[in-house]
Amino acid sequence: MRLREISPELYARSVLPLTAELWAGRGELAAYVEYWLEIARSRYGRRHYRTIGLYDGRRLVASFKRYERAIDVRSRRLRAIGIGAVFTPSELRGRGYASFMLASALDRARSDGYDLAYLFSDIRPQFYATLGFRAQPSRTVSLRADALPSTRLDLAPLKDGDWNGVRRCFELGRAGRPAAFVRTPLIWEWIRMRVTRDSEHAVGLATNLVVRRGRGICAYVLGARAPERDAYIVDEFGFADAAAAKLTPALLRAAAGDLHRVTGWLPPDGPRSVLPKGTVHKRKRSILMMAALSAGGRMVVDALPSDSNADFCWATEHI
């Protein structure tokens, strides 16, 4: 048995039809394949994204998506691999293929000088724990929309020309965090593609808003209005300075409109401080898990559980 990279075209033909029911969301198979190929063929995809298969002889028996990311930890930059869409066809499950595949991938990444691996587990986190992954703080927060302040804002839907302003707001918020995913220009292209496609929401309608100050943007929020949940679901928000931070609760209320709740992943350190207290629960899905592949990676994996006030990343980092 051996690991082998799967070309985008072969993956689209042999794997995506089997995984569409799990991960296509609201889209049809054709749209799911088109979107996936768009990512694989993008500048980001060609540099940092691969589909890997485990072959038993010539037969593909398991597969996963491999993402390359970097994490800044104070003054140090660590190399990470992200693992997503781990899949074994139903008739081949229970034979240890996925375990062998991921263990081999981790060994290869360690040999190649990566510091840690991460994933978001929707089911069976104990399976990944046997491979050395540790669950990290993964929580949701729920706020009453009518408990947030109502302030008049220069509010507008996010447009293509607004992304540079969004990026500046994000980077200002990331600067004070002890550890965070790095967003290079290519990573921003990938996130922009996902937001534009509204590919991350199983329910609701994408509602991405910015607050303008003069000719610039001083705050933004990415998320979806979900009437079926009576909630605005936040993926990420950011602000340019202290004055804009004070506007963020009102921005969230405006995004919710007539919906009763604002929900989402508990924000990372820094942005978390601008929200009032709300109801916090452990997430049952999309649990962040990390495995150390070096001494530097071990430092991150060991340190994160001690931060009880914030999560490590936004929902926009989900893979």
pLDDT, one tens digit per residue, over 171-215 is: 998 887 888 999 999 999 999 999 988 767 778 899 999 999 998
* Phi, psi for 54 (deg, rounded to 5): -100, 125
Residues 53-84 have pLDDT tens digits of 999 999 999 999 999 999 999 889 999 999 99
- Write down the CATH superfamily of domain 2-138+283-317: Gcn5-related N-acetyltransferase (GNAT) (3.40.630.30)
Alpha-carbon distance of 26 to 171, in angstroms, equals: 32
User: What are the residue boundaries of the structural domains of the chain, listed by start?
Assistant: 2-138+283-317, 140-282
State the Cα torsion 274-276-277-279 to the nearest 10°: -100
Signed CA dihedral, 97, 107, 63, 2: sign only = negative
- DSSP code, position 311: B
Alpha-carbon distance of 261 to 257, in angstroms, equals: 10
| pTM of the complete model | 0.94
> Do 138 and 311 form a contact (C-beta atoms < 8 A)?
yes
Question: Is the domain 140-282 a CATH 3.40.50.300 member?
Answer: no
Residues 131-164 have pLDDT tens digits of 999 999 999 999 999 999 999 999 999 999 999 9
* Phi, psi for 212 (deg, rounded to 5): -95, 145
Which range is least confidently modeled, 28-32, 79-83, 169-173, 305-309? 305-309
Classified as helix, coil or strand, 48 is: helix
Name the token pair of 74: 């104070």
- Topology agreement, domain 2-138+283-317 and domain 140-282: yes
- The Cβ of residue 46 has, within 10 Å, a number of other Cβ atoms equal to 12
Classified as helix, coil or strand, 188 is: helix
Name the token pair of 182: 């790095």
Task: Give the bridge partners for 264, in sequence order.
Answer: 141, 234
Whether 308 has a pLDDT exceeding 80, the answer reads no
Nearest in space to 200 (alpha carbons), one of 174, 167, 234:
234
* Phi, psi for 176 (deg, rounded to 5): -90, 0
Please name the residues in contact with 312: beta carbons below 8 A apart, sequence gap of 6 or more.
Answer: 136, 137, 179, 180, 268, 288, 304
